[in-house]
Structure 1
């Protein structure tokens, strides 16, 4: 018994309230091969249902526990997560109130996920008469036995549920299992398998092979051709051999039987298609400002100590050139680097640039890759074949070895924060990894987040500034158009007279324009002119958005869709269209410029076949005059021929119910204005707004981040918002509005009771709410929130975690899901 091992396992089936390492006995047959970081199937709970888990540690069974449950199946041949990744999963659990298994799963590509299939099987040697006798007086048991014998002795759980309908088959299953008639078996299938190809290699020396086949050049020309090619190559894929020689697979098998060559299976990677025709680039040439920033950053990397820096540079200042030179030095020293971007739309241009500098050393990770491609890229990164990874948020978990540099481009973007469990922020995960790897975290932006700039000014981050555009190109002049004046002059469209005039001038010169509007669809809502009725989503507390492209009303929260009625369903009155979206602006552009093509880019036009890359490549290649889009067109794009940028409605995000509204609006406007005049032709920008006097609009037009930051940081200080305090938001979601509100009230009462007792009475903590979420009902579930304004300390996180566990275990909260966010986006 002394040699028996115990595995501590994080389980998929464990909810946050009961999440802990569970002990399981390691079977002797796998004791020598099982290691931490491998996934297993184990029995769990009183019903011993089978669930997946990941091994955290292995230790000796002291004292022995003969009744401890055993591991049933080992799913991996080698660990999928190393010790550092497992520590990261434990840290994420404490930081973002998720289970260890949820955190571990987030680090793995979807192709590695297993699907478990439970099925009930009649034990060997049990006949129908014996099985029926075991059922006793159970009518359900008899029905179950008859079904199983009719189905060949086995049935999966789904089949049984369908056969029994509203009746529960579990009592009958338990009865027959206890009587020794049935057993539960679990099979696991992985999302994506390894791709392999057949490889042929010479089994004898080349001289001997040629001596054997020279005399058979005419009698066996195909065999001769195969041998001749292999003599020069040594080995080649069977598919390529057959293609270049005209031989068949039968020819190769014949040569293998004679011992001339061997046929083996070799793993091949499904590669992401890199841009074609890219010439290798030399060392980036930096100006004086860039060189100073590069030298300071490179010194931080070479120090071998964990550090963080903010590279703050105006749009077009050449921040990417600094990245490239930094990464070159990192690779020369044998390290690896990770570059994160906020949008998939940014990867094509960045990929072209990075391919020119680093070639096949690049790995790409983002959600638009096919499962097989993402899985194989993950393996290439893990083996060290890819040492520079470019990707979106989830790429922060890329299994790079000797990681010395992580770059977050446009670090202020909200897309770096996950909206799904675990609700991590890529910046915080990157910071943790840089501490563990003793590397540099480089945050970069023309409009840094208020929190990052505050930390830089406090000396917590190193600050490097680029104040001039690369090659001394001037920032584009910006004109602010007051749309109230347009209405007074009789122009009720979304295109001002000034914008139409500028667009005409650009098209006459053969130049291109980008128009930005951060709302898709045609109209924000439809209203009856007679009774005022507005169509709303039946599952969410929001108005339906009209999409002219398909003539339907759609919900952007749950996806509900219905055709636009000819008249008001309530009174038969005429319908009015209120607000605007990209589809409506596209229609107005086509009316204003009927002879010109307009390209629209939003989530309605981007698809698996019509990707970001294809749309942007077509815009550049075909010199399409106008590109209209949502925030996909606002960041990172660099087109030589784009000389005009127009912002259709700058006020859209300014008055949202969020303390970040001003920051987001300023960032979006500054970024989109910076898309103009990046080439030698110069450029201009135009901002349409109903509030031209607003400070945020004026600062964005001047590209004056410093003035915006000075105002915003004082507002945050007065309101007690980040970076001065953190906001922990506990959300209760239920089908009943009363149930969600009651759960929040009970959490508040429990918290107030705890805070009156030592040592918690010393905590500085403000409790706000319960209050409904900004959209209270989504997909037939009501959401209420309790907000805690305080410092993000270990003691506070432990308090929130205990509150969550109590709420989830509270019998009064049956049917209510409760979860927590830290500084959430909405």
Structure 2
């Protein structure tokens, strides 16, 4: 038997399966999708089995697979085929795609070991006695790379590479009673009264109704004994101590209540019946559900999932980011119980691994999670749902740069099931596909409670500046906050910028303190007196004097959530305030903790960045305030208007969802901007058609497809030469034969330097991807050799990030 193996080396020269002989001892065990250890040159590497065949075209002697890392495949045949297709579509290496599909715990590490063949010569070179085990780090601390290479060439030492598997299972101790009630009572009658611990255990075991195994931790807690007492009892033959494998439960901290199906309103019922027909007929249709905030899209999702599960199929529900997950998870698990697996970045590595195994063992029929859960190894999928489909977090920002919607379409096609895309503000591209009939458009214009969408007031902050009364809050917003506090209602305030001040500037010389590794100013964080870079995570203490002129007059400029939090405490000292941004949610579980506090009425005001704008449903929220609507309007991104409109519409939808009337106040220095005009009217249709005109004039998506080619290097000159070389190469291979091809650049990235790397970009616009595929493949392959010169070329099809 021959195994075709993709080897863990992400370079063009080995971006193909290699044939390996399967030893007899593995033939009955090996399956497609398993991870194996294989010899490759002088090393042993991880490999993925992508095919098993009986013959090979290789003329030489085949090497054998060294070891199986798994005894079950972690990727099924569908995912293996999907990785192959995505590698081609995204211009990435197949091994990169396969590894992206797996939880981190299933990605191996490599360990270099030093074998000493001539101990005397080695000790003479090192100047010390050789230890039994010497590490690569020990060796490099003593000798130069040249000397190490010479020792290897002379055969004095050998470098041996080992694959270190990171997988681990959780085990718990169990107590298995061996006697019946009569037996334990007889022993108890003969046990002296002063043997209190043993008597407590015997009483407990006698009274256990079900003589099944019990977690040892529970026994010890209930009887107040330690583990040594259990071991003594085992020695006496009263019980048996077993160790069993257990899953880590990521939902153990949630107090979930079972929820029941709700009666669907007419618009909900129409959406449900339309999609249910595609489920029953196994049609691979894509549905765009455009429903205003509060229209009951989630209940439709849950009832569609229920229909699929009743048919014996599985379901995949995607949410865009971890902040959306807690409430959605509670609703899904509350409806379907333990048959739900959760996959998102907020879980520990071990928890994600255990959830993955539950899916493989068919113990979970429903998966809910963020972007990477689109690769969950579900079989017989009956429906795939993407909630808030417009969110940019569905796009992976580094290699492999896949979009979850792209992957979901391929999986839905494979399983002959519908794909449901839901949003109050669909992406321009998705809405256009619905307009031309590629997607089925389903609109839900009414809220479930029949309440009107909240009125939106625009406050011109430039008028506040003219009156010299400027602070973070307009008089209107301050008055509205106080009114809600007096009524014991709740408030959500949005400022999409964390930190205390955007930058620190010297008032005498105008110097702004920059990140030494990036072409951007450092953000001032007051609570720990640090300046931080939000791109490379560089940190430094706030200087006492200006580094340029020595002045002590340094002042923070711009607004961040920390500063607004401080102002709120000063203006409303009686208010209970929670802040939710990347700084307050770094530790596991902090998202849920903050949202639970707010949901249980333990706070009056929730202040945060965009993570509070979506998916939250709190009945007592009657006021939403946007501190500064301009933070994202003026970014150098053709989607800036779309993202701003979506954010404002989503955050406005957090109020007026229950019995209370809601209100929205948006503060801006740009009150005439068209985005604010449409957001004030909750007019997605008007915004869509206006934005389409602008996109058409500028030849942007959805009228053109785009690819972003980025060249980076520590050396600005090298990166610049390379990007011009690529431009020339593309002009020769594409421009001459293609009128619909537009090449923009080279230009510096929005941030020219990040973490000591200079970035230059080329932007390609075209009508058909097939027109540029060959040219991009050549770039991918030919630029592998540039890596050793410190030049990196990346290709991003359908880019969402330009900074």
Partners of 1:82 and 1:634 lie apart in 2 by: 37
Deviation readout 1:754-813 (Å, 9 max, x if unpaired): 2378xxx357422221111111100000011122111353452333122221122359x8
Which residue of the other structure, out of 19, 43, 51, is the alignment partner of 1:49?
A: 43
Tell me the CA shift for residue 314 of structure 1.
0.7
- Cα deviation code 1:334-372 (max 9, x no counterpart): 112121111211222222222321121221111111122
Structure 2 CA distance for aligned equivalents of residues 554 and 62 of structure 1: 56
Secondary structure at the counterpart of residue 706 of structure 1:
helix
Q: 1 CA distance for matches of 2:418 and 2:217?
A: 45
Quote the Cα distance in structure 1 between the aligned partners of 2:735 and 2:659.
66
Aligned to 1:40: 36
What is the CA distance between 1:247 and its match in structure 2?
Answer: 7.6
Q: For 1:471, what is the secondary structure of its paired residue?
A: coil
Matched, 1:87 2:81: yes
CA distance in structure 2 between the aligned counterparts of 1:102 and 1:238, rounded to whole angstroms: 43
**Out of 373, 384, 387, which is 2:365 matched to?**
387
The structure-2 alpha-carbon separation of the partners of 1:63 and 1:568, relative to structure 1 and needing over 3 Å to count, comes to: closer
Between the aligned partners of 2:329 and 2:45, the Cα distance in structure 1 is 40
Alignment of 1:570-649 (within 5 A): 570-573=548-551, 574-608=553-587, 611-649=590-628
CA distance in 2 between counterparts of 1:589 and 1:249 reads 52
Any conservation in 2 of the 1:89–1:103 contact (CA below 8 Å)?
Answer: yes
Other-structure match for 2:328: 350
Distance 1:255 1:565 in 2: 65
Residue 271 of structure 1 and its aligned partner are, at CA, apart by 0.4
Q: Residues 584-622 of structure 1: CA distance to partner in whole angstroms, max 9, x if unpaired? A: 222222222233333211111113167011112222334
Cα distance 1:552–1:375, how it changes in 2: closer, same or farther (>3 A)?
A: same
Aligned residue pairs, count: 793
Change (3 A) 1:649 1:756: closer
What does residue 72 of structure 1 align with?
66
Alignment partners' CA distance in 2, 1:679 and 1:392: 27
Superposed, which structure 2 residues align to 1:206-285 within 5 Å? 215-219=186-190, 228=206, 232-241=210-219, 263-274=241-252, 276-285=254-263
- Is there any run of 5+ residues in structure 2 with no aligned partner, and where? 192-197
Tell me the CA shift for residue 115 of structure 1: 1.9
Match of 1:504?
A: 482
Return the alpha-carbon distance in structure 1 between the equivalents of residues 639 and 717 of structure 2: 30
| Aligned: 1:151 with 2:131 | yes
| Partner secondary structure for residue 553 of structure 1 | strand
Secondary structure at the aligned position of 1:160 is classed as: helix
CA contact (8 A) 1:310 1:444 kept: yes
Deviation at 1:261, TM superposition (A): 6.4
Shift in CA distance, 542/32, structure 1 to aligned 2, threshold 3 Å: same
CA–CA distance in structure 2, aligned partners of residues 344 and 369 of structure 1: 10
Match of 2:446 in 1: 468
Please tell me whether the aligned partners of residues 174 and 213 of structure 2 are also in contact (alpha carbons under 8 angstroms): yes
Asked if residue 426 in structure 1 is aligned to residue 401 in structure 2, the reply is no
> 1:196–1:266: 8 Å Cα contact kept in structure 2?
yes
Alignment map for 1:322-337 (pairs within 5 Å): 322-337=300-315
Moved more, 521-530 or 625-634: 521-530
Structure 1 residues 548 and 241: alpha-carbon distance in aligned structure 2, compared to 1, 3 A threshold: closer
Aligned positions of 1:797-812 closer than 5 A: 797-809=773-785
Structure 2 residue 757 is the aligned partner of structure 1 residue 775: no
Alpha-carbon distance between aligned partners in 2 of 1:214 and 1:274, rounded to the nearest angstrom: 36
Counterparts of 1:306 and 1:381 in 2: how far apart (Å)? Answer: 23
Structure 2 vs 1, CA of residues 642 and 246 (structure 1 numbering), >3 Å: closer, same or farther?
A: closer
CA drift of 1:553 comes to 2.0
Alpha-carbon distance, 1:333 to partner: 1.1
Q: Which residue of 2 aligns with 1:23?
A: 19
Which deviates further from its counterpart, 491-500 or 523-532? 523-532
Does residue 1:59 correspond to 2:53, yes or no? Answer: yes
User: Structure 1's 631 and 64: CA in aligned 2 closer, same or farther, altered over 3 A?
Assistant: closer
Q: CA deviation at 1:670?
A: 0.4
Distance in 2, Cα, partners of 1:363 & 1:770: 45
1:506 and 1:419 map into 2 onto residues whose CA distance is 40
Scaled by the length of structure 1, what TM-score is found?
0.90
Deviates more, 1:12-21 or 1:216-225: 216-225
Name whichever of 447-456 and 32-41 sits farther off.
32-41
- Mean alpha-carbon deviation: is it higher for 538-547 or for 211-220? 211-220
3-state SS of 1:541 partner: coil
State which drifts further: 25-34 or 320-329. 25-34
Give the SS at the match of 2:426.
Answer: coil
User: Relative to 1, partners in 2 of residues 1:683 and 1:211: Cα closer, same or farther, differing over 3 Å?
Assistant: closer
Greater shift after overlay, 482-491 or 26-35? 26-35
Identify if the C-alpha distance between structure 1 residues 277 and 14 changes in structure 2 by more than 3 Å, giving closer, same or farther: closer
TM-score, length of structure 2 as denominator length = 0.93
Q: Give the SS at the match of 1:191.
A: coil
Describe the superposition over 1:493-533 as per-residue Cα deviations: whole angstroms up to 9, x where unpaired: 12111111111111111111111111111222222233221
The 1:143–1:359 alpha-carbon spacing in structure 2 relative to 1, beyond 3 Å, is: same
